[in-house]
Structure 1
């Protein structure tokens, strides 16, 4: 299970082999063996004994900023698995194999997005014709990306980003088109969001980033050695690359919240130059995210919890780097 701390002034301490979570006069004991991660989204106190207990049970402690983006985590002091995996990952980062791999992840993301739009179209008959037109436009750009070739790896990398941006613009135009009138938005906006939809989407992606980084670390992959995104100092480039396969989880959740009018006034609050989720908005999104992660989907012939698929895919990729698995691809996370 995941513990979420989102009440101002909360504390986490240890009692025997349990985490004690409290705020004001309320407290709850949770056995450490049942906890996978602790997510802290507000000002809180945590004892060193609780941190040690988390260490002993391999519990990840993640701290999120006001936009839902992880800014720090308390983690076991060494990577999982062997350094040989990270050496091979570094080799891939500077050659065509790595770029082709990352391009495949982008293509899979676009396939997931167009599949999602086709699903939305089925329940919106009055908007179906226009959605079909949008999907066709996305598919044309997607096909151009699939056939993209070149001699200079940096030039091709730039073109991949360009086609991805074109498709992304169309995709969010469709999502805006199907939104209830009061929640329409003008494209993507980040940190801060300019509207409620992007505020929920940004926070959801932030939660997903923390899950993706954890999967990388557990499988022995280096979150900072990317194939498509640049490896600037302090940037988790590989996480930004591979998360593309899983963004659709958050897209589905956020669209569902707005389509079913579960988002209420007061779940976002104004900040300088934009909006951010308030406590009620965070509670709603985190609750729906956790439900989504507990649901299953078809994955390589089996029904698997969505929460586990990121780790399975990262382990499979790591094994491919070192030759234990001949298939080094990572594009079999099909949602539609």
Structure 2
């Protein structure tokens, strides 16, 4: 409690992120003091479906646009990268010129572009050292799928089974925590989403905002993959097949993500 009091006095926010990459808690030293005009704007946007659709179309268009430089800078030229870039440009064109009447059409475009985007990562080599003494799973030598192999019939991104996905999940969680702190400091209600549905305890507004930051987070993780030679000790493989970051690597990833402006 003394530590929490000191953090509050210093105006320092505390973010606790689990090893799974999920946010456990975010506590702002200043607490939550909403700006009435900003919260009213959120509620007004949320209540009007036509405004929500317009907001979502623009948000997803900007998300797809931001992913193009990441692909061009960090993914080697290949047929899959060409397909991803073509899908992205086609999606941007559709979001610019089409009129949408429901969210599902926008989500469909986002899903097609995201699927091609991560498919272009397939085969990306992951370098290792010290694996003669501590062997690693064969599929850890290169990137495969964004979804986890341990989530059963329904493929999900949570509970990563591959080191690159574990780094992505952790990096996204760090960025989500930072965006939540910023949202509260700026006077927004972090639970009132416009594109994402607001449910009890959710961070729907923060989930909206991270869409514009994902490509920058991806670039940091891809840079790690290109530059670092990992050791088996950098990751913890649980008995259920889930992969977790070591505390040392988690700190390195968190520090890199926190520097994104």
Asked if Structure 1 and Structure 2 have the same fold, meaning a TM-score greater than 0.5 normalized by the shorter chain, the answer is yes
SS at match of 2:232: coil
Q: Answer yes or no: is the 8 Å Cα contact 1:67–1:206 preserved in 2.
A: no
The CA deviation string for residues 87-128 of structure 1, in whole angstroms up to 9 with x for no partner, is 22101112222332232121111111112212236xx4xx35
- Cα distance in 2 for partners of 1:266, 1:80 equals 43
2:97 equivalent in structure 1: 147
Q: Is 2:86 the counterpart of 1:118?
A: no
**Which of 199, 208, 212 in structure 2 is aligned with 1:232?**
199
Q: Is 2:18 the counterpart of 1:65?
A: yes
Q: What are the equivalent positions in structure 2 for 1:1-336 lying under 5 Å apart?
A: 48-76=1-29, 78-80=31-33, 82-95=35-48, 96-120=50-74, 124=76, 127-128=77-78, 130-151=80-101, 156-180=102-126, 182-189=141-148, 190-271=157-238, 272-290=240-258, 292-293=259-260, 306=261
TM-score normalised per structure 1:
0.65
Deviation at 1:282, TM superposition (A): 1.0
Deviation at 1:219, TM superposition (A): 0.7
- Cα distance in 2 for partners of 1:178, 1:280 equals 23
- Structure 1 residue runs of 4+, over 6 Å off? none
Deviation at 1:67, TM superposition (A): 1.8
- Cα distance in 2 for partners of 1:239, 1:81 equals 15
More strand by share: 1
- Cα distance in 1 for partners of 2:3, 2:209 equals 32
Q: Max radius of gyration: which structure?
A: 1
Q: Answer yes or no: is the 8 Å Cα contact 2:8–2:30 preserved in 1.
A: no
269 and 142 in structure 1: CA distance in 2 versus 1, 3 angstrom threshold: same
TM-score normalised per structure 2:
0.82
SS at match of 2:158: coil
Segments of structure 1 that go 5 or more residues without pairing to the other structure are 1-47, 294-305, 307-336
Q: Answer yes or no: is the 8 Å Cα contact 1:172–1:187 preserved in 2.
A: yes
1:27 equivalent in structure 2: none
- Cα distance in 1 for partners of 2:9, 2:255 equals 27
